[in-house]
Amino acid sequence: MTTTADFAFDTDTACARVGDHEYGSWLSDRWSTLGGTANGGYLLATALQALHDELPHPDLLSASAHFLRPGTPGSALIHTDIARIGRRTATGQAILTRDDREIIRVLATFTDLATAAGPTLVRNTPPALPAPARCLDPLGGVVPDGATIAERIDIRMPEVAGFWRGEPGGTTTAEFWMRFADGREADSIALALLVDAAMPVVFDTGVSGSSTIELTVHIRRRPAPGWLACRVHTDYLMDGFHEEDFEIWDSTGTLVAQSRQLALIPQ
């Protein structure tokens, strides 16, 4: 039987308590982006694992992360602070530092999604995608130099945007399948990584980089096993800043995560 320790996500986001509201972690080089720095969703998930240990509720509900400096592989400390613990939700802050420099600051709320109940209205539908086996690997099995996160995440697209071929076509919307390459099923904290795991769609406008400034994630349900259907779009690129909205729907057609991030196009 496979245990979570066999999966890269669990190994590489693991935290150990080293003091009062303080956790040690090792930032892996297995989640790097094209620039060689740690993926923002990976940094967020690592900080959330420490906070999850402090709070009584099992599922991430929402998180807002501000990225202050690039993350690099090596030892890190995560300092947590509990703001409030209630019957339905609990909220706390996590600050991840590396070499005494603050990398990311997170405010997050946890709940028990298995007991969530109340009025429900869903006015959108999941992406209408062909089966993953009928879709394309945008990388064609070739991992870009330094972008090790591409080895951790499988993506399948019905059609591949031009920037993947070096020919930007101007599209700023994409729909595709996503999952962990090693077969790990997603949970609420893993979803916080996955909303930031794909190439930014703004790349098809011809820009060559994007650095996250702030990322907000909302988790709506616990995801069912299987491939995750994703929808992402950017509507506004202004003065070198752009937003990116991301949706994840599970294999039953249920919305499980939403996010919005503000990012900077490097000059």
pLDDT digits (tens, 9 = 90+) for 215-248: 999 999 999 999 999 999 999 999 999 999 999 9
Cβ neighbour number for residue 113 with a 10 Å cutoff? 19
- Rounded Cα distance between 49 and 16, Å, is 10
Model pLDDT, residue 208: 86
The domain 4-113+130-264: what is its CATH number?
Answer: 2.40.160.210
pLDDT at 157 over 60: yes
- Rounded Cα distance between 191 and 189, Å, is 5
Phi then psi for residue 4, to 5 deg, are -60, -25
Cβ neighbour number for residue 87 with a 10 Å cutoff? 7
Closest to 80 measured CA to CA, from 24, 3, 4 = 24
Model pLDDT, residue 3: 45
State the burial class of residue 205 (Cβ atoms within 10 Å of its Cβ: 0-12, 13-18, 19+).
middle
Model pLDDT, residue 4: 57
Please name the residue ranges forming H helices in 79-211: 149-152, 188-194
pLDDT at 267 over 90: no
Beta strand 241-249 with 173-180 is: unpaired
Query: Quick one: what percent of the chain has pLDDT higher than 70?
Result: 98
The arithmetic mean of pLDDT across residues 150-174, rounded, is 94
The single-letter DSSP state of residue 218 is: E
- Rounded Cα distance between 232 and 176, Å, is 9
The single-letter DSSP state of residue 118 is: S
Task: State the pLDDT confidence band at 210, using cuts at 50, 70 and 90.
Answer: very high
pLDDT at 185 over 70: yes
Q: Are 78 and 29 in contact (CB under 8 A)?
A: no
Structural domain spans, the chain: 4-113+130-264
Task: State the pLDDT confidence band at 121, using cuts at 50, 70 and 90.
Answer: very high
Closest to 127 measured CA to CA, from 255, 259, 221, 245 = 255
The arithmetic mean of pLDDT across residues 84-90, rounded, is 97
Query: Which residue spans within the chain are E strands per DSSP?
Result: 15-19, 22-27, 59-67, 74-85, 90-98, 101-111, 153-156, 173-180, 211-219, 228-233, 237-238, 241-249, 255-264
Model pLDDT, residue 1: 31
- Rounded Cα distance between 92 and 149, Å, is 28
Residue-averaged pLDDT of the chain: 95
pLDDT at 197 over 70: yes
- Rounded Cα distance between 135 and 133, Å, is 6
Model pLDDT, residue 5: 60
37-59 pLDDT, tens per residue? Answer: 999 999 999 999 999 999 999 99
pLDDT at 188 over 90: yes
Model pLDDT, residue 34: 84
State the burial class of residue 120 (Cβ atoms within 10 Å of its Cβ: 0-12, 13-18, 19+).
exposed
Model pLDDT, residue 35: 80
127-140 pLDDT, tens per residue? Answer: 999 999 999 999 88
- Rounded Cα distance between 186 and 175, Å, is 18
User: Does 183 or 145 have the greater pLDDT score?
Assistant: 183
Model pLDDT, residue 141: 77
Model pLDDT, residue 195: 98
The arithmetic mean of pLDDT across residues 167-183, rounded, is 96
